[in-house]
């Protein structure tokens, strides 16, 4: 298993001859690091005191600390997409930014962020301030997370798919005062992920949040908390910088930020690294990721675990673990295998006004379906409310078999009274699901409220374009097929 100098694993293979930085033991002497806020350093750790906006930065090129992106605050998005970088052709683009840190105090209501591929954030309206951010609230219990895009400085937009302040069962505690934990920000392009969307790029951008609850005792135990993909629809002001209104930031950049606006807070960092990755590779493809020397009693186990991990993470056209024939998988890594936008809405209410419609689903018709052989790990559904539905019953999601029996129920539910009157994607966790779709299976969203004036709506599209799947309304306990598609994203 490839690891860094501290024994922390590589989550993705390195880009051959790509940038790889590991902090010096005394980071104040490290030219790749801006030591803003540092109060102590040495022995491989350092402490930062955050007093108002404080931002220690990592630079792939130390010279960038005294310059800016091409165009500076007037950076042109369309030109930058075409060029592919904001400073120099060797700027890193696809990266793992990994750290072991201890949130000590002072984060009662202030957040902490990790962000990347950015330039200077100078003054109002600065276009070089574009970046993708992972925000954490260390002082909440449990701690919460969100993905944000800064279209320009200062214009923050929360990811419309994953939304505000999501949590994860692996972080069921307050990070502040907990001791050392591991955080990793991963960002990479997905080729042709936005093709056909009318943007000035065909590629999408994927952002992932990874976590290790106890890196001191189990340095290999990294969990992906959540992934999101920017394929458009995230933001509306990119035209200010000469790009699409919802500009997808596919370019490379030399600056990565670690920031908090806390007025008086301290974080001790134990390890910090930035590595350029290539998620299209396997670890055995890349000579920059040599296997470790054999260790009696452990080498076979490590190899097996590692190969499994790699195929979970990588975006592939076909899974390297797939066998032949039915049930062989055919997976393509943790990515969407079904993605339909909502161009219309459908009411959910167990009332005669809406035909006692309590569910909207998509069904797997046969072995040629895009659903067949896939193991669902996440379902994103656009939801909104009409009127004022009560907090109970909640909205849920599940997988059914061909008889209508429940195969798996997502542990995620949503209070419909908190919904807005416009669609917002809500994420249902299916990470505990072990069932792969077979012919006749369904997956969908359900709500059993009975009001005809205060109810929930989910999304669908009038197009009937996903071959070998069928949309269904679940009405009075019966599956009613329609010529349309369920507006949702299914992830494997």
- Structural element, H or E, at residue 46: strand 45-50
Average pLDDT over residues 113-131: 94
State the pLDDT confidence band at 96, using cuts at 50, 70 and 90.
very high
Three-state SS at 390: coil
Phi and psi based region of residue 198 (left: phi greater than 0; alpha: psi -120 to 50; beta: remaining): left
Average pLDDT over residues 219-240: 94
Which tens digits make up the pLDDT trace of 11-44?
999 999 999 999 999 999 999 999 999 999 988 8
The CA distances from residue 222 to 124, 211, 227, 460, in Å, are: 38, 5, 14, 36
Answer yes or no: are the C-beta atoms of 158 and 146 closer than 8 Å: yes
Higher pLDDT, 132 or 301: 132
User: How open is the CA angle 255-260-264, to the nearest 5 degrees?
Assistant: 140
Q: In order of start, what are the domains of the chain with their CATH numbers?
A: 20-285 (2.60.120.560), 336-491 (2.60.120)
Average pLDDT over residues 382-408: 94
Q: Is the pLDDT of residue 94 over 90?
A: yes
Answer yes or no: are the C-beta atoms of 252 and 117 closer than 8 Å: yes
State the pLDDT confidence band at 467, using cuts at 50, 70 and 90.
confident
Average pLDDT over residues 450-478: 91
Task: Give the per-residue pLDDT at 334.
Answer: 67
This prediction's pTM = 0.64
Q: Is the pLDDT of residue 309 over 50?
A: no
State the pLDDT confidence band at 286, using cuts at 50, 70 and 90.
low
Task: Give the per-residue pLDDT at 169.
Answer: 87
């Amino acid at each position: 298993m490839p690891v860094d100098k501290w024994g922390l694993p590589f989550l993705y293979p390195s880009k051959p001859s790509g940038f790889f930085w590991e902090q010096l033991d005394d980071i104040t002497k490290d030219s790749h690091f801006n030591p803003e806020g540092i109060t102590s350093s040495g022995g491989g750790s350092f402490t930062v005191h955050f007093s108002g906006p404080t931002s220690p930065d990592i630079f792939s090129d130390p010279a960038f600390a005294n310059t800016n992106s091409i165009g500076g605050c007037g950076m042109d998005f369309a030109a930058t997409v075409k060029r592919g970088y904001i400073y120099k052709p060797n700027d890193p683009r696809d990266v793992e930014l990994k750290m072991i840190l201890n949130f000590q105090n002072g984060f009662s209501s202030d957040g902490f962020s990790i962000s990347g591929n950015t330039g200077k954030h100078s003054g109002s309206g600065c276009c070089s301030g574009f970046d993708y951010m992972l925000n954490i609230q260390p002082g909440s219990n449990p701690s919460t997370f969100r993905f944000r895009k800064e279209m320009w400085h200062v214009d923050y937009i929360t990811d419309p798919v994953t939304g505000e302040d999501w949590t994860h069962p692996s972080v069921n505690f307050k990070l502040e005062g907990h001791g050392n934990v591991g955080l990793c920000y991963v960002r990479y392009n997905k080729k042709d992920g936005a093709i056909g969307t009318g943007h000035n790029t065909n590629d999408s951008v994927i952002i992932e949040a990874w976590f290790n609850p106890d890196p001191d005792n189990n340095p290999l135990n990294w969990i992906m908390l959540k992934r999101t993909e920017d394929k458009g629809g995230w933001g509306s002001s990119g035209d200010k910088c000469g790009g699409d209104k919802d500009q997808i930031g596919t370019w490379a950049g030399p600056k990565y930020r670690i920031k908090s606006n806390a007025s008086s807070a301290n974080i001790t960092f134990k390890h910090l690294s930035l590595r350029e990755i290539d998620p299209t590779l396997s670890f055995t493809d890349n000579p920059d990721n040599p296997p470790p020397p054999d260790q009696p009693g452990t080498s076979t186990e490590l190899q097996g675990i590692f190969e499994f991990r790699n195929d979970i993470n990588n975006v592939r056209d076909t899974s390297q673990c797939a066998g032949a024939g039915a049930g062989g998988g055919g997976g393509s890594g943790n990515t969407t295998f079904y993605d339909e936008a909502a161009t219309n809405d459908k009411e959910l209410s167990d009332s005669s006004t809406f035909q006692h419609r309590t569910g909207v689903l998509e069904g797997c018709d046969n072995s040629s379906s895009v659903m067949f052989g896939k193991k669902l790990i996440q379902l994103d559904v656009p939801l909104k409310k009409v009127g004022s539905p009560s907090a109970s019953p909640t909205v849920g999601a599940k997988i059914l078999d061909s008889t209508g029996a429940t195969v798996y129920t997502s542990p995620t539910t949503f209070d419909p009274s908190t919904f807005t009157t416009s669609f917002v994607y809500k994420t249902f966790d299916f990470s505990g699901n072990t069932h792969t779709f077979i012919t006749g299976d369904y997956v969908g969203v359900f709500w059993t409220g009975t009001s005809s004036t205060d109810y929930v709506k989910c999304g669908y599209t009038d197009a009937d374009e996903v071959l070998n799947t069928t949309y269904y309304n679940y009405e009075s306990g019966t599956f009613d097929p329609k010529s349309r598609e369920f507006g949702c994203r299914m992830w494997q």
